[in-house]
Structure 1
Amino acid sequence: MEKIIIFGVSQLASLAHFYFEHDTPHQVVAFTVDRDYIEENEFRGLPVVAFEDIEEKYPPSEFKMFLPISFKQMSFLRKAKYEEAKAKGYQCVSYVSSKATTWPDLNVGENCFIFEDNTIQPFVEIGNNCVLWSGNHIGHHTVIKDHVFITSHVVISGCCEIGENSFFGVNATVRDETIIGKGSLIGMGAIITKDTPEFSIWLGAKSTMREGKSIDIDSISHKTKG
């Protein structure tokens, strides 16, 4: 049983503790945050230790770390803290839900948080420090690079390349063989059918109303078929 420290005392940290407690062999022994943000000495019944001092009380030779930090600043905040933990000598564990659909060849990096109901097809590669919230489809041969945050019910089709620090809002869709540039913000419901430049912003999918009534679609179809 590996002993781990979770960074943060937020809702994400609470979720991480719950998942590790109920769905992994890991044992969470403490939480850590930057000293300026410590308000109480305990969280979920475990000690809260200043990140500045963490290696003294929980040395990286004996403990590992998990950093479930949000997508703020396009996940560059999470990237920075992950790199600080690595500089302290910690190995960072990943969580892949037992309720996700995966295949034996799945390649997942460190400090990834992959929730339930993700369908991850064969030959997918996921880098370090990525978050895949619940209910996404990741198509075959897709490569997701480091520090990517994918919310829920996102469809990334096959053979895509997802640049580091990209963000995907709920219900976004990406066409197959598409390259998403580094730091791209793909907003809720966006439909991406072409490569995106680095740090570009894509918001919304415009729908247009066509002529006719929905109730007439079948009859129109029958007439067309003769």
Structure 2
Amino acid sequence: MEKVILFGNQSVAKEIFFYLKYFSDYEVVGFTVDREYLESDSLFELPVSPFDIVETVFPPDKHKMFIAVGYVQNNKIRKERYFQSKEMGYQLINFISPKSIIYPGTMEGDNCKIGHYAVISPGAKIGNNVIIGNGCMIGHDVIIGDHCYFSGGVSVAGSVSIGSCSYLGTNSTIRNKVSIGKECVIGAGAIILENTEDRSVYLGEPATLLPISSDKLPLG
């Protein structure tokens, strides 16, 4: 089995740990976090290394990595650690649930998670470092930019484009042929019927545009 370390020690990392343990051929052998967030030197009886020395503890020629971080700071932390780990020489893995439906040619990137019972339709394209939660429905020819995060139950109709670093909350819905800007926040249950600008924030049903930029939200 190929050995993997997880960046993170919170809920997303714990979830990914169990997904990989029970639904993959990877063996998680440890965790790594930024030194200031090191709460313990072990998690699930596995070692936790500060990220600034992870290369010496878990050499990249012998270990792969998954950046298991949520939408903190509108996905920017996961984006930063994604690039830093690649610069260190780590190969980043994907986790695609065996309980999902996904067609050949859909996955174009790495460090992606496709949750249980998600359906990714033919012609869709998923970028790098994308988290798609359980039960999401992604329509045909949808383009998902890098570093996005979809909570469970998101529904995206056909021919939609979603800009990088956007967050879609639980059970939100995007109408067909809509373009979602970069770094947008679509709240839980929101229904989007028209294009959105970069960093826009929408809540409600139908969705209401809030007078705030997404980079001002206390996400995380």
Matching residue of 1:121: 121
1:42 maps to 42
SS at match of 2:55: helix
Match of 2:23 in 1: 23
Matched with 1:171 is: 171
Distance 1:40 1:185 in 2: 32
Q: Which residue of 2 aligns with 1:9?
A: 9
- 1:72 is paired with a residue of what secondary structure? coil
Paired AA for residue 99 in structure 2: K
1:131–1:150 contact (8 Å) kept in structure 2: yes
Distance between the aligned counterparts of 2:98 and 2:39, measured in 1?
A: 34
Asked whether the equivalents of residues 64 and 92 of structure 2 are also in contact (C-alpha less than 8 Å), the reply is: yes
Write the distance in 2 (CA, Å) between the matches of 1:200 and 1:168.
12
1:132 aligned to 2:143? no
How far apart in 2 are the matches of 1:133 and 1:68? 13
Give the structure with higher Rg (CA): 1
Q: How does 1:73-222 map to 2 (within 5 A)?
A: 73-206=73-206
1:106 positional shift: 2.2
Provide the C-alpha distance between the structure 2 equivalents of 1:95 and 1:22, rounded to a whole number of angstroms.
Answer: 12
Q: CA deviation at 1:112?
A: 0.9
Cα drift, residue 181 of structure 1? 0.5
CA deviations over 1:131-175 (Å, ceiling 9, x no partner): 111111100111101010111111100111110011111121111
The two structures have a TM-score, normalised by structure 2, of: 0.90
- One-letter code of the match for 2:73? Q
Moved more, 139-148 or 100-109: 100-109
1:76-128, Cα deviation, whole Å (9 max, x unpaired): 11111111111211111011100011123322411112110101111111111
- d(CA) in 1 for partners of 2:11, 2:172: 24
- Report the AA paired with residue 103 of structure 1: Y
Aligned pairs, number: 207
Per the TM alignment, residue 206 of structure 1 is displaced from its structure 2 partner at its CA by 4.5
Q: With CA pairs under 8 Å and 6+ residues apart, which has the higher RCO, 1 or 2?
A: 2
Structure 1 residue 37 displacement after superposition: 2.1
- Which residue number in structure 2 is paired with residue 67 of structure 1? 67
In the alignment, which residue of structure 1 is the partner of 2:213? Answer: none
Paired with 1:130 and 1:106, the residues of 2 have a C-alpha distance of 12
- Which runs of structure 1 show a deviation greater than 3 angstroms over 4 or more consecutive aligned residues? none
- Give, in angstroms, the shift of residue 57 of structure 1: 2.0
Greater helix share, structure number = 1
**Superposition deviation, residue 25 in structure 1:** 0.6
Gaps of 5+ in 1: 208-226
